[in-house]
Structure 1
Amino acid sequence: MVALLKRYRYCIIFLGILLFGLTSVLVFGDNRDDSYSKLNYDDWVLDWVENFDKQEIDTLIWSKIPRGKYAWNDMMSDDDRCFDLRNGCLILRGILNDNKSNDTSKYLTGGIYTKYKKSFSPGRFEFRVKINGAQGAWPALWLRPFKQGKNYPWDGEIDVVEHLNFDPYIYQTVHSYYITKLKQFNPKHSKKAQINIDEFNIYGVEITEDAVTFYVNGEKTFIYPNKELSQNKDQYPFFQDWFILVDMQLGGNWVGAIDEEDLPVEMEIDWIKHYKRVRK
C-alpha cells in the first residue's frame, strides 16, 4: 500500500490541489472583479459593455465633453493631456495647464459622454472605477435624460458617483423638478457611501418603475422610491432613456480650493456595463 501511494503520489497531490481549487470557488466565489456575488442577476441581461480596450476612444459612442458655463464643465478640454487609454482603462485627468498657446485656462479637465450618440433604457448601470484623490478634484459618474428638457436638472439627473478631494466616501444623488424647484426633500434624495479611494470599486444603480437603487461593490447603499407608484413626473422622472457622463473636474464652491501639488490627478475607468431587465 505504501509503495502504491509513493508511485502515485504526484497524481494524488495534483488531485488534491484541483479539489481545493474547486472547493474554494464553490465556497468563496471566483473573486472576479467583473461580478457581484451578492447581487441577483436572474432578472437582468447584459445589454452593452465598454471595456476601453481599443487604442482610441470609440467616437461612434463617445464624445469629449465641451467646455460649458456650469461648475462641473467650466474647465473641460479636448486637450490630449487630459485623456489616455492605459492597460485597458480610460484615464481622465485634471491638470495644471503649463501650455496656454491653445487654451488660456489655468486648469484643464477631461470628460466623455454618449450625448446625441447612444441612449440607454432604464435598467442597471455599473462602473468599475478607481477614483484616486486630490485637493480640489471632483470626479463624477452620472446619467442625464437622452431627450433633453429645457430646465436642467429639473427633468432628471442621477449621480451614481460624485467624489470630493480625499474623502473616504462618495455622494449618490438624484435630482428633479420636485427636488430642485419645489424643494421637496421627502423622500431623501442623496446619501454618502463609504469607499476606499485607493482601490477599484464597482458602482451601480438600478432604475425601475418603482425606485432608483444605488450600490457600491454589490452592497445596496441608497433607495429613492417612486412615492406610491404615482405618475407624478415631477417627483419621479427617472423611468426614461439616459446618456452616460464620465468626467473629471477641478475646483468650485462645493469641492473647494485646488492644490496644484496634487496635480495631475487621474480617474481610471476599467469598464461600464448596462443591463436590461428581463420581463417574466
Structure 2
Amino acid sequence: MNRILILLFILWCQFAGCSNSSDEPQYPEVNPPTPSEGKIYKVGDVLDYTGLEKVWGDDFASGTMVDETSWTYEQGYVRNKENQYYTTHRTENCRIEDGMLVIEGRKEDPLYQDKAQYTSASIITNKKKSWKYGRFEIRAKIPAGKGSWPAFWMKGDSQNTGSSWPNCGEIDVMEYAGKDSNIMIHNAIYGGSDGKAVHSTKKYSYGSSLADDFHVYSLHWDEKQLVFAIDNKVTHTVDLTLIPSAQNPFNQKFSVLLNLALGSDVASTLGGPLDPSILPIKYYVDYVHVYQKK
C-alpha cells in the first residue's frame, strides 16, 4: 500500500510540474531597438548640440585681413549680373575689425578698376576647407536696404572636378533680400534629370527686421535632412531621401562662402535693383563654426 501511495505521489508531482511549466507565458526573443542615426527635425524644433564637437572655426580674433590658409577672395563680377565688383586684399571692402569680419559694400568715386562703380567682397573656403555633414553656423548682423544681398552659403566640392552648377549642389543657409527687411531665404539647389536647377526654397518671415541685431544662422546637415535655423529655432527642412540618388549632390563635401552682393541688373534676383543712397553698408560676422559628430 505504501509503495502504491509513493508511486502515485511521484506521478502527481511530475504532472503538476509539467502543468506549471506549460502555464508560463512564452515570450519571443526580442532584439534591442537600434539607436536612431539622427534626430528628424521639424519646423519649430530647437537644434540639439548633443554629441557634436567643433572641428573648425574662425572667430576673426586677430589681424586685419582674413586668414588665407582658410579663405580665398573671389574677384570681379562673379555671378547674377550683380552691380558690385568683388575686390581682393582691400580693407575698404573686407577686414577684421574689433574681433569681427566686416564686409563693406561701397560706391566708388572715382571708379574702381574695370570701371566698377560699386565694390564689395566675397570670401570662400573652396579648395582649402570643406566638410561632409555637420552643423554650420555664423553669428552675424546683416545690412538692410534695397539692393543689400548678404549671404552665408555652400557649394559642393564636385564644382572642382567638372560638375558645374547646379549639379554640384548649393545650400543657401542664409540669403537676405534687403528689399524685404523681415524675410530670410533658405534654399537647397541641385540638378534635375533634365539638367535644370531644382529648388527647395523657403521664405521665412521673422516678424521684425533681421538687420536690427546679431542672429545665429545655422544649417544642420546629415544623410537624411538639411535643417535650417535662426537663433537655433528650425525654420525650414529638406528631406534628402526624396532626391533620386543619381541627382543628389548632398553626399559630398561642401565649402563655405560669405559675401555681400549689391543688387543686380536682373530685377527678379533676390537683391533687386540697388538704391545707391543706402551705401556704404556693412555685413558683420562674429564667427563661423563647423561642428561634427564626436
TM-score by length of 2: 0.74
1:77 to 71, 76, 87: 87
Q: 1:145 to 1:184 in 2, by over 3 A?
A: closer
1-side partners of 2:230 and 2:111: how far apart?
39
2:66 is equivalent to residue 65 of structure 1:
no
- 1:225 maps to 239
2-side partners of 1:159 and 1:84: how far apart?
23
SS at match of 2:192: helix
Q: 1:54 to 1:184 in 2, by over 3 A?
A: closer
CA contact (8 A) 1:207 1:239 kept: no
1-side partners of 2:135 and 2:141: how far apart?
20
| Aligned AA (1:46) | K
| Aligned AA (1:221) | T
Output the aligned Cα RMSD: 2.2
| 1:69 CA drift (Å) | 4.3
- 1:247 maps to 259
- 1:174 maps to 188
| 1:155 CA drift (Å) | 1.9
State the Cα deviation string for residues 173-194 of structure 1 (Å, max 9, x = none).
0000029835656xxx010223
| 1:44 CA drift (Å) | 1.4
2:117 to 106, 129, 134: 106
CA contact (8 A) 2:153 2:258 kept: yes
| 1:275 CA drift (Å) | 0.6
TM-score by length of 1: 0.78
1-side partners of 2:285 and 2:94: how far apart?
11
Q: Moved runs in structure 1, 4+ residues, more than 6 A?
A: none
- 1:140 maps to 151
State the percentage of identical aligned residues.
25
SS at match of 2:212: coil
| 1:43 CA drift (Å) | 2.6
Across the two proteins, how many residue pairs are aligned to each other? 237
SS at match of 1:97: strand
- 1:262 maps to 278
| 1:84 CA drift (Å) | 2.1
| 1:251 CA drift (Å) | 1.4
CA contact (8 A) 1:109 1:248 kept: yes
CA contact (8 A) 1:142 1:244 kept: yes
Max Rg structure = 2
Q: Which has the higher strand share?
A: 2
State the Cα deviation string for residues 172-229 of structure 1 (Å, max 9, x = none).
00000029835656xxx0102234221111010111111111111111111111235x
How do 1:11-90 and structure 2 match up within 5 A? 38-55=46-63, 56-71=65-80, 75-78=85-88, 79-90=90-101
1-side partners of 2:194 and 2:286: how far apart?
32
CA contact (8 A) 1:75 1:250 kept: no
